[in-house]
Structure 1
Amino acid sequence: MSKRVVLVFLMFICSGVAFSQTASDSIPKLDPKVKNALNVADQLAYQAALKYNDLEVAKNKLFDLIVRNPEDIRYMEALGSLYFESGINASAALVAMDILKINDKNTGAMEIAAYALEQLGAFDRALPYYESLHLLTGDNFSLYKSAYLQYSMKRYAEAMNSVNMLVKNAKPDEKIGFAVSETETQQVNMKAAALNLKGLIYLDQSSKTEAKASFNEAISLEPNFNQAKENLQKTN
């Protein structure tokens, strides 16, 4: 993504204007029967567009539904999901953040905002959404992502606290994926992943003895954990 696009995206974030509020103030009221007929027609067109993988038409029909029904958050949620699944992260994040202005406990929007902002490189903006998602749901994947972003931003004390919580609370059947190639992902025990990240935190702070112990513990849980083995070599 170009610097210009990122700048424009951040300007939209800083504006703080929820689209639904603007729409509800400016759209003339329709006769309920007319409105209902238009809604039904647009919903059917949206479903047909999805069926035939015409995402542009699907998106346009959602915009029509959002403008006509600014009070109905379902259409914004569908638009955010459509952007998210299409990899249009800037738009997905903007829609998700507008949804959260309406309902700050909408976990679906929170997840989209967190992931999309992370993909855009806006780690400082993504982190609060991952943290809130963990607090609301107890989801350990969100806690891992929080720890990873804290580590990436060199907020080592916070990252270590998150990792220690994860090591303590990770369930035996929880897995997380690590890319081993462009087409292959290795599924790793969550506790082992947390220990690997703990080792990286130590390594960044030149604590090689502690890092080595963490990597070895991760490998003891997951003997084929490629990334932990590679990181262990850095402690020699």
Structure 2
Amino acid sequence: MNMKNTVLILMMCFVFFGIAVAQESAPAAKEDSNKLKNQADEKIYALAMRYNDVSVAKMKLYELMERNPKNLRYPELLAAIYFEMEQYGSSALVALDVLERDSKHIPSLEIAAYSLEQLGALERALPHFESLHLLSGDLFSLYKTSYLQYSLKKYDEALNSVNMLIKNKKSAEQTLNFPKDDNSMQEVSMLAAAQNLKGLIYKDQGSNSEAKLAFEEALTHSPEFELAKENLASL
């Protein structure tokens, strides 16, 4: 092999080596660029939220979502903004998109459940409340489950859920707020609320004696429970 051919081969090796290095460094450079863009957008998002500029905050979240399609934190934040703004259709859609990718994503389950309830889509909201309780053990989610089942006239399921709530010792320790006739709010134990709901279920089924016992039981736990008093008097 003459000198000319040797030099040519060496030059070709250097060219191929340069291409390989460039190909390897390109993804790393893109990753660094995206990281810097993410940091800048997150700072702008934080400032926009601080200054209550929701439109800018949403725009930055959309940009972050487009750049980071696998990061569920950004759509979670967007769904929360829509929910706070009472744009329940949008918050439900964003949360449902997240749940398609992660069915156990608790923040999105919560937003989807309450958004769908606000939209009157009780049948669609119900399974999300059920999942919330199963995944988190949250008693309020169990109460909401039983109340939606009652509202949808799924009485057997509602009784099963409300009895689970009554048997849970923590229900006597937690509280719920209910409206009074003077438009103020009244705090009662969750156990009393569950017994009151149990009474409503029996009342709808025409079992007035069982309903009476449940309303009276509610009043033993929260004697000033105005709604339970009214329900008992209605019998």
**TM-score past 0.5 threshold:** yes
In the alignment, structure 1 residue 234 sits paired with structure 2 residue 229: no
Q: Which position in structure 1 is the counterpart of 2:39?
A: 40
Could you say what secondary structure the match of 2:124 adopts? helix
Larger Rg: 2
- What is the rounded CA distance, in whole Å, between the counterparts of 1:32 and 1:108 in structure 2? 28
- What is the rounded CA distance, in whole Å, between the counterparts of 2:99 and 2:31 in structure 1? 28
Q: Which position in structure 2 is the counterpart of 1:217?
A: 217
Q: Which position in structure 1 is the counterpart of 2:21?
A: none
- What is the rounded CA distance, in whole Å, between the counterparts of 1:128 and 1:185 in structure 2? 28
Query: Does the CA contact (< 8 Å) of 1:170 and 1:190 recur in 2?
Result: no
- What is the rounded CA distance, in whole Å, between the counterparts of 1:182 and 1:79 in structure 2? 37
1:80, CA displacement in angstroms? 1.1
Q: Which position in structure 2 is the counterpart of 1:130?
A: 129
Could you say what secondary structure the match of 1:33 adopts? helix
In angstroms, what is the RMSD of aligned CA positions?
1.6
User: What's the % identity of the aligned pairs?
Assistant: 52
Alignment of 1:102-141 (within 5 A): 102-141=101-140
1:185, CA displacement in angstroms? 2.3
Distance of aligned partners of 1:134 and 1:182 in 2 relative to their CA distance in 1, 3 Å threshold: farther
- What is the rounded CA distance, in whole Å, between the counterparts of 1:168 and 1:141 in structure 2? 14
Could you say what secondary structure the match of 1:176 adopts? strand
Q: Which position in structure 1 is the counterpart of 2:8?
A: none
One-letter amino acid of the counterpart of residue 152, structure 1: S
1:170, CA displacement in angstroms? 4.3
Q: Which position in structure 2 is the counterpart of 1:3?
A: none
1:228, CA displacement in angstroms? 0.5
Could you report, residue by residue, the CA deviation over 1:112-137 in whole angstroms, capped at 9, with x for unpaired residues? 11111111100000000111111111
Q: Which position in structure 2 is the counterpart of 1:7?
A: none
Q: What is the TM-score normalised by the length of structure 2?
A: 0.84
Query: Does the CA contact (< 8 Å) of 1:111 and 1:133 recur in 2?
Result: yes
Could you say what secondary structure the match of 2:187 adopts? strand
Query: Does the CA contact (< 8 Å) of 1:140 and 1:170 recur in 2?
Result: no
1:104, CA displacement in angstroms? 1.1
Could you say what secondary structure the match of 1:41 adopts? helix
- Structure 1 residue runs of 5 or longer lacking an equivalent are 1-28
Query: Does the CA contact (< 8 Å) of 1:127 and 1:149 recur in 2?
Result: yes
Alignment of 1:194-209 (within 5 A): 194-209=194-209
Could you say what secondary structure the match of 2:120 adopts? coil
1:32, CA displacement in angstroms? 2.3
- Whichever structure has more helix as a proportion of its residues is 2
In the alignment, structure 1 residue 190 sits paired with structure 2 residue 212: no
1:180, CA displacement in angstroms? 2.5
- Structure 2 residue runs of 5 or longer lacking an equivalent are 1-26
One-letter amino acid of the counterpart of residue 191, structure 1: L
1:140, CA displacement in angstroms? 1.1
Alignment of 1:132-171 (within 5 A): 132-171=131-170
Moved more, 30-39 or 69-78: 30-39
Q: Which position in structure 1 is the counterpart of 2:12?
A: none
1:182, CA displacement in angstroms? 8.7
One-letter amino acid of the counterpart of residue 65, structure 2: I
One-letter amino acid of the counterpart of residue 202, structure 2: Y
1:184, CA displacement in angstroms? 3.1
- What is the rounded CA distance, in whole Å, between the counterparts of 1:88 and 1:62 in structure 2? 16
- Aligned residue pairs, count: 207
1:34, CA displacement in angstroms? 2.6
